[in-house]
């Protein structure tokens, strides 16, 4: 079945440094979503990418969808303490369900 | 408006007991999903409803797990004869449209501990 791998599993940065997490699917995706989960919280939707090669920006966050629609990345510029949490990608292979990666847990040294 | 709510927020069950977890989706949302999230892992799909129809239950780990949404709104996830490996956070999510092509709104989850 469809698998979604995410790396790294953990990332610790100094406040102000950049952060990137990568997501790879075993199959071609119709779309990919990104969610953020704060410690003790629940996943909160960030964005959806649909088109091959798509790039979307939200303030300091940049999301990319690969040309083959099998990989994606999230880049945060100049991290702030409010960015702390676990970032999940979730792939939709065309069926009804999302397959989540295992997440990248971001911690920040202020 | 209110978001997705789940109850109870915490549940401790002795091994072998049955449990029922409730999800109140956002009013009017067509799709409802159940996920299981183990510690340090991403949510794993359990089952999907479009209105009252259970269209996908491929993620239910065993026949001890059963979900229903009889009137197309509130949903209940039931686990019979709980085992220790069932300990996890159970997340419910709803979406205004059908399927996985729209953002999902997650509830706070029910943390189930089986002793």
Q: H or E segment at B40?
A: none
Residue range B1-18, pLDDT digits in tens: 589 999 999 999 999 999
Spell out which chain A residues touch chain B, with contact meaning CB-CB distance below 8 angstroms. Answer: 6, 30-31, 33, 35, 41-45, 48, 88, 90, 92, 95-103
Candidates B31, B43, B100; nearest CB to A43: B43
The pLDDT of residue B98 is 75
CB atoms within 10 A of CB B43: 29
- The predicted structure's pLDDT at residue B82: 98
Average pLDDT, chain B: 95
pLDDT score of A99 more than 80: yes
Q: Over the range B77-111, which residues count as b (16 or more CB within 10 Å of their CB) and which as e?
A: bebeebeeebbbbbbbbbbeeebbbbbbbbbbbbb
Q: Is the pLDDT of residue B115 over 90?
A: yes
Task: Decide: B114 and B13 in contact? Cβ < 8 Å.
Answer: yes
**Cβ–Cβ < 8 Å for B42, A101:** yes
Q: Which residue among B98, B102, B109 sits closest to A42, beta carbon to beta carbon?
A: B109
The pLDDT of residue A1:
80
Percent of chain A clearing pLDDT 70 (strictly above): 100
8 A C-beta contact, residue B44 and residue B36: yes
What is the tens place of the pLDDT at every residue in A51-89?
A: 999 999 999 999 999 999 999 999 999 999 999 999 999
Q: Residue A38: helix, strand or coil by DSSP?
A: coil
pLDDT higher than threshold 80 for residue B100: no
Average pLDDT over all residues of chain A: 95
Q: Do the Cβ atoms of A100 and B44 come within 8 Å?
A: yes
| Residue in B41, B99, B107 closest to A42 by CB | B107
Among A5-9, A61-65, A92-96, B10-14, the least confident range: A92-96
Q: CA-to-CA distance for A107 and A8, rounded, in angstroms?
A: 12
pLDDT bracket for residue A8 (50, 70, 90): very high
How sure is the predictor about B99, in pLDDT bands with cuts at 50, 70 and 90? Answer: low
Q: What percent of chain B has pLDDT over 90?
A: 92
- Find the helix or strand (DSSP H, E) in which B37 lies: strand B31-37
* Start-to-end CA span in chain B (Å): 37
DSSP label of A103? -
């Amino acid at each position: 079945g469809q698998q979604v791998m995410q790396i790294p599993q953990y990332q610790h940065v100094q406040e102000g440094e950049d952060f990137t997490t990568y997501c790879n699917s075993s199959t071609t995706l119709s779309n990919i979503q990104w969610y953020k989960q704060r410690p003790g919280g629940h996943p909160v939707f960030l964005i959806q990418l649909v088109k091959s090669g798509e790039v979307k920006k939200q303030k300091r966050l940049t999301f990319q969808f690969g040309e083959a629609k099998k990989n994606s990345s999230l880049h945060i510029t100049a991290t702030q303490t409010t960015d702390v949490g676990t970032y999940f990608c979730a792939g939709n292979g065309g069926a009804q369900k999302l397959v989540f990666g295992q997440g990248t847990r971001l911690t920040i040294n202020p | 408006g209110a978001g997705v709510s789940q109850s109870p927020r915490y549940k401790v069950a002795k091994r072998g007991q049955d449990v029922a977890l409730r999800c109140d989706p956002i009013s009017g949302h067509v799709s409802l999903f159940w996920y299981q999230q183990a510690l340090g892992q991403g949510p794993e799909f359990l089952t999907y409803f479009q209105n009252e129809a259970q269209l996908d239950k491929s993620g239910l780990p065993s026949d001890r797990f059963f979900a229903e949404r009889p009137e197309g709104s509130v949903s209940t996830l039931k686990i019979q004869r709980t085992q220790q490996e069932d300990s996890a956070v159970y997340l419910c999510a709803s979406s205004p449209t059908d399927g996985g092509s729209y953002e999902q709104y997650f509830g706070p989850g029910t943390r189930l501990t089986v002793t």
